[in-house]
Amino acid sequence: MLPTTLFYGLVLLNLLFVCGAWTLAKPSRRAAGVLIVVSVLWVLFNGPIEGHVILSFTPENGLTESDLLSVAGIGIALWALRKRRRW
């Protein structure tokens, strides 16, 4: 049986991918807003599937491989907001 934190992490990871695809397919403020919220939640709750540490800030905290998914999500959201503004 999966630990609860791992299960929620996997659900949040899938939600991040779905929201990213939604924002790329139909750029809107709502899609970008949801993607930003999910990206922030991903950074906070990705503990069980973080991966290797890329940059260490303190012995307990650092930038991990999975944190880069949040950076990509926020980048997609900002792109969608900028594209929306041009219309």
More confident of the two residues 61 and 13: 13
> Mean pLDDT over all residues of the chain?
91
Q: How confident is the model at residue 33 (pLDDT cuts 50, 70, 90)?
A: very high
Its pTM stands at 0.86
d(CA 83, CA 67): 25
Average pLDDT (58-72) is 90
Please report which helix (H) or strand (E) contains residue 63, including its range: strand 62-64
> What is the extent of the structural domain holding 48?
4-86
Tally of domains in the chain: 1
The answer to whether residue 2 scores a pLDDT higher than 80 is no
